[in-house]
A and B are shown apart, each in its own frame.
Chain A
Amino acid sequence: MSKAWQTPRVDSASSTLDVGIGAGGLATADMVLNIGPQHPATHGVLRLRLVVDGEKIVSAEPVVGYMHRGAEKLFEVRDYRQIIVLANRHDWLSAFANELGVVLATEQLLGMEVPERAVWIRTLLAELNRVLSHLMFLGSYPLELGALTPVFYAFREREELQSVLEELSGGRLHYMFNRVGGLKQDVPAGWTLRTLDAIKAVRRRMPDLENLLTDNEIVKARTVDVGVLSRDLAAAYGVSGPIARASGLDVDLRRDEPYLAYGELFAPGGPGRVPVRKHGDCYDRLVVLIEQVRVSLDLAEACVEKLRSLPAGPVNVRLPKVLKVPEGHVYRWTENPLGLNGYYLVSRGDKVPWRLKLRSASFNNVQVLTRMLPGQLMSDMVSIMGSMFFVVGDVDK
């Protein structure tokens, strides 16, 4: 059900027969089909240049760069408070996770110790943001498959969590709540109870969404054994996140290289667990995403309980008027909702970073499409692209 309006005119399809009659035999010509950059099925402005033989895809080339805004260059002229604003906006579905990576890298270079309350609030917000990001894909992927209801359910849950985050930080999508050394401010009175209510409400209503998807025979027909990504290919291309875990690549930085409070949460007996599946088809990716939502809701609830038991205390560190980071370089990576995001910060002792390079998960996740799409049918292309869970801002930065 591709809505690629740039397909060539219908008369050329009938004229391939004309071409063949004179030259002998039934000749075919490959067609170059351009999907995007504006297209309802691509998540944003990704352009796919496909060469198709009838319905079968012969080769696929993602053309990226339509959302390249030069964020890494702009980082070099923004100081360490201002880069948080820009950092929010490359993976716009998980803005908190992005700004977290940036401040973690800065704090590591500064050798700064963050107060315990801030660590737990950060973990909580990161997990809530993860749920938001996954819910977005759980709504948009079925929409591409033709299921219209899940997107409304998913956005209903998103609104629930967004109101909690908006009460805290003032933003529904871009929070800009992290600061170097902690958070902007402490949580309002009663916020933890409202957060618990929101988490419970989302968890209570998740079956509404799941029942439409996991046992749905149409969804299964379109996703089982479609777009199989093997474990080795995923490892070779550096694919990470839920997509890689659905292919059997068992990497989750929250468990393997814990940061923030994840060490405690993913310890044996804790609420953290890593869903991994074997086949690597679209169905597995969908199931992993649903499982991850459940895990994140559990983690968020554990964080709220811990937060309520913590004594009142500071949530940030007093910063000097002019914040200069000592010379050095650090690579800090975090488990973002879409995968591994790395932040390579090079400082020359200035107020602004010398270089802040972003390693984004979606960049690798999109590259592997060149290997996954050839041999598939056009109608499966939509299903595969939707299941790859990328954000174009993350690809292009």
Chain B
Amino acid sequence: MSTTDLGMPGIGPLQSAAPYPLRLVLNWGRRYSLWVFNFGLACCAIEFIAASTSRHDFIRLGVIPFAHGPRQADLMIVSGTVTDKMAPAVRRLYAQMAEPKYVISFGACSNSGGPYWDSYCVTKGVDQIIPVDVYVPGCPPRPESLLQAIVKLQEKIAGENLGRRYRRSGGTPVSAAAATRPLVAPDGDGGPSSRSTSRRARRVVSEAAVPRRQTTSVLPSAPPPAAPVQAMTLRPHTPQTAEDTVVDMPAPVPPNAGPETKEGPR
């Protein structure tokens, strides 16, 4: 037993069947209480912060920027250049958001690569990896542009039908439990704590591990300890190399596909 799979909170089938007045009320509530996930990458993040401070203040539109992480946010504003190294992290954090979720692409770099359109290591537009609802042009856009983008998004939400937006035509969505990682082992060159006790502990962990994937442990196989230890509550121990990106990059979403309709299996 490692992670508890609670299933991804999703949009139920009743959404499409909801009567119009109910949908009106729900859309009203959703659009005026967007919680934004602070996803500032580069220069546009500075204008994003400027838009949240007193002069421009997008908090008065209901957009509260202090979501404690992607799981509690409904709006992700990608502001700044998405590099190829950062792209899996963007994808992963988007997958961790619960539906319904919206994305505003803020700035030329996340719209289409911007001034780095011919760079060897820039993702030319974040819509190559996640679906975007509103694009804000500019380099960087003025904070007023962000205010207008939020208003536009609110208009879009006002007229939307969630059942139609999240209709799944096959494939399984990424579950909340799947977007996590196992423990990473420290290297043996740590400081005073890499004494024999911790090495012993690590050996014990590897003995009790239930392999989650077809990986072989790189730790040397040690003789089992004298007293068998019930360490079943520990998570499986799969040491990984430094650049460990766990998420497989799915095929890019075609630009006209609208909201994502399916997620590839992990």
Contacts and interface: CB of A to CB of B under 8 A. Distances in A.
Interface of A: 3, 5-6, 8-9, 11-12, 14-16, 18-23, 25-32, 34, 37-38, 40, 44-45, 49, 51, 53, 58-59, 63, 65-71, 73-74, 77, 85-86, 89, 92-93, 136, 151-152, 155-156, 158-159, 172-174, 374, 392-393
Contacts of A392: 42
Contacts of A172: 47, 50, 140, 142
A38 B39 contact: yes
A132 to B, nearest CB: 10
Contact of B184 (A20, A32, A174): A32
Across chains A and B, which 3 residue pairs bring their CB atoms closest together, nearest first? A22-B229, A92-B43, A155-B53
A156 B184 contact: no
Interface of B: 3, 38-43, 45-47, 49-50, 53-55, 68-71, 80-81, 83, 85-86, 89, 93, 115-116, 118-122, 139-140, 142, 181, 183-187, 189-194, 197-198, 200-202, 204-205, 225, 227-231, 233-235, 242
A69 B122 contact: yes
Contacts of B122: 69-70
Question: Interface SS of chain B: helix, strand, loop or mixed?
Answer: loop
A67 B93 CA distance: 17
A92 B202 contact: no
A320 B6 CA distance: 67
A151 B191 CA distance: 37
Contacts of A73: 119-120
Most A C-beta atoms less than 10 A away, residue of B40, B46, B47, B140:
B46
A93 B46 contact: yes
A92 B81 CA distance: 12
B201 A19 contact: yes
A18 B229 contact: yes
A85 B43 CA distance: 13
Contact of B38 (A8, A14, A40): A40
B140 A51 contact: no
A3 B187 CA distance: 24
B229 A23 contact: yes
A388 to B, nearest CB: 18
A74 B140 contact: no
Contacts of B71: 5
B72 to A, nearest CB: 10
Most B C-beta atoms less than 10 A away, residue of A21, A45, A77, A392:
A45
A18 B191 contact: no
A174 B138 CA distance: 11
A29 B201 contact: yes
Given A45-B86, A156-B53, A58 B193 contact: yes
A14 to B, nearest CB: 7
A27 B69 contact: no
Given A30-B193, A173-B46, A23 B198 contact: no
B191 A27 contact: no
13 contacts: A8-B235, A15-B234, A22-B225, A27-B198, A29-B205, A32-B185, A44-B40, A45-B86, A63-B242, A67-B81, A68-B85, A69-B81, A172-B140
Contacts of A25: 197
A66 B233 contact: no
Nearest to A154: B53
A89 B41 CA distance: 12
A30 B116 CA distance: 40
Nearest to A140: B49
B43 A12 contact: no
Given A69-B122, A85-B115, 13 more contacts: A5-B69, A18-B230, A30-B190, A51-B187, A58-B193, A69-B121, A70-B119, A74-B119, A89-B42, A89-B43, A92-B42, A155-B55, A156-B53
B192 A12 contact: no
Contacts of A393: 42-43
A28 B194 CA distance: 9
Contacts of B181: 6
A41 to B, nearest CB: 11
B201 A27 contact: yes
A148 to B, nearest CB: 10
Nearest to A5: B69
A93 B43 CA distance: 8
Given A14-B233, A45-B86, A174-B139, A86 B191 contact: no
Contacts of A155: 49-50, 53-55
B100 to A, nearest CB: 21
Given A59-B190, A68-B83, A70-B121, A28 B42 contact: no
A69 B229 CA distance: 49
A37 B86 contact: yes
Given A3-B69, A19-B205, A28-B193, A38 B233 contact: no
A9 B89 contact: no
A321 to B, nearest CB: 23
A174 B234 CA distance: 50
